[in-house]
Structure 1
Amino acid sequence: MLNLQLAHKYSRAIFELAEEEGKLEKYGEELLEVKNDLEAVPEAKAFFANPQVERKAKKELVRKMYEGELSPNIYNFLFLLVDKRRFALLPVIAEQYREMANAARGIVIADVTTAQPATKAQQEKIAQKLQQVTGKKVELRLHENPALLGGVVVKIGDRRIDGSVAGRLQALQKELLTSK
């Protein structure tokens, strides 16, 4: 719980800085890049999480990886996380930052689960329909679950829309059992 509170403070700080500078999208992309880099290389994630590794060595790795690649504020933010021994929180910080930036820009994230990969045309159609329903710009996060058999399940925040074949079969089964 404490780590989530700390991550929120850091993500709020970098969010406010980005908002002030008009760089919400740019900073979000850079934080996501660093997060993805860490997740792609488990050894790097373990290196930054290890308290026995000196801060100097961690800063040197950040410098080698990102010097000239990131905007100065994000680059310095990474050094701050190393100094405060909070670098392990970066994935959570990046995700919380994304949520704040999306809310500020009027964007909602829709988790869309289909039985098979959705084509570009299907993705666009789903996004357009969800934009009509929510009145906001919708960003899709795609998932696959063959157990759905067909159709789609959409989750936006705590709202769930089940248009899957499996969901319809379950609803039908429930209806038949309660009508006996």
Structure 2
Amino acid sequence: MLNLQLARKYSRAIFEIAQEEDKLVEYGKELADVRAGLDSVPEAAAFLSNPQVETKAKKELLAKMFAGELSANVSNFLMLLVDKRRIALLAAIEDEYRGLSNEARGILIADVTTAEPAGEAQQQAIRAKIAQVTGKKVELRLHEDKDIIGGVVVKIGDRRIDGSVAGRLETLKKELLANK
């Protein structure tokens, strides 16, 4: 719980800086790139999270890994995380930042699950329908799950819309059992 609160505070700080400079997308991409870079080299992430490693060595590693790729503010932000021993929160900070950035830009993230890979036309239709209902720009995160048999399941935040064949069969089963 404490880590989530800290992640929110740090993400809010970098978000406010990005908003002031009108660089929400750029800073978001940089944070995502750093996260992906550290995720792709687990040894580096372990090194940065190790409390026995000197702060100077951690900063040097980050500087070498991302030399020339980061803006001054994002680079300084990462160094601050190292100084405050919060670099392990980077994934949570990046998640929170992405949420704040999307909200500020009026973008809604929808998790869409289909039984088969969704084609471009199907994606466009889903995106258009959600945008029509919500009045926001929509980005889709696509998932596949053969268990839904057919149709689509859309999850937006904590709201779930089940238009799958499996969901309809389950509803029908409940109705039939209730009428016994």
TM-score of the alignment, normalized to the shorter chain, above 0.5: yes
Q: Deviation per CA, 1:11-52: give whole Å up to 9, x if none.
A: 000000000000011111111111111222222221111111
| Matched residue, 2:131 | 131
- Which residue in the other structure is 2:66 paired with? 66
Instruction: Tell me the distance in 2 between the aligned counterparts of 1:143 and 1:38.
Output: 24
In structure 1, the partner of 2:149 is 149
Partner residue, 1:176 = 176
Stretches of structure 2 that go unaligned for 5 or more consecutive residues are: none
2:162 counterpart SS class: strand
Cα-to-partner distance string for 1:118-145 (whole Å, 9 max, x where unaligned): 1222212111111011111111111111
Task: State which drifts further: 165-174 or 32-41.
Answer: 32-41
Q: Residue type of the partner of 1:40?
A: S
Q: Structure 1, residues 73-132: CA drift from partner, whole Å, max 9, x if none?
A: 001111111111100000000000000011111111101111122122221211111101
More displaced 10-residue stretch of structure 1: 101-110 or 115-124? 115-124
Counting only pairs closer than 5 Å after superposition, residues 1-180 of structure 1 correspond to structure 2 as 1-180=1-180
Which piece of structure 1 moves more, 38-47 or 7-16? Answer: 38-47
Aligned residue for 1:69, secondary structure, equals: coil
TM-score using structure 1 length: 0.97
How many residues were matched structurally?
A: 180
> How far off is 1:67 after superposition?
2.0
Q: Which moved more, 1:88-97 or 1:122-131?
A: 122-131
Q: Which moved more, 1:42-51 or 1:98-107?
A: 42-51
TM-score (norm 2): 0.97
Separation in 2 of the partners of 1:124 and 1:44?
Answer: 39
How far apart, in 2, do the equivalents of 1:43 and 1:178 lie?
Answer: 55
Question: What percentage of residue pairs aligned between the two structures are identical?
Answer: 69
For the 8 Å contact 1:67–1:75, the answer to whether it is kept is: no
| Partner Cα separation in structure 2 for residue 148 and residue 36 of structure 1 | 30
CA distance in 2, matches of 1:46, 1:96: 22
AA matched with 1:82:
V
Give, as a single letter, the amino acid of the residue that structure 2 aligns with 1:10.
Y
- Distance, in Å, in 2 between the alignment partners of 1:43 and 1:125 is 43
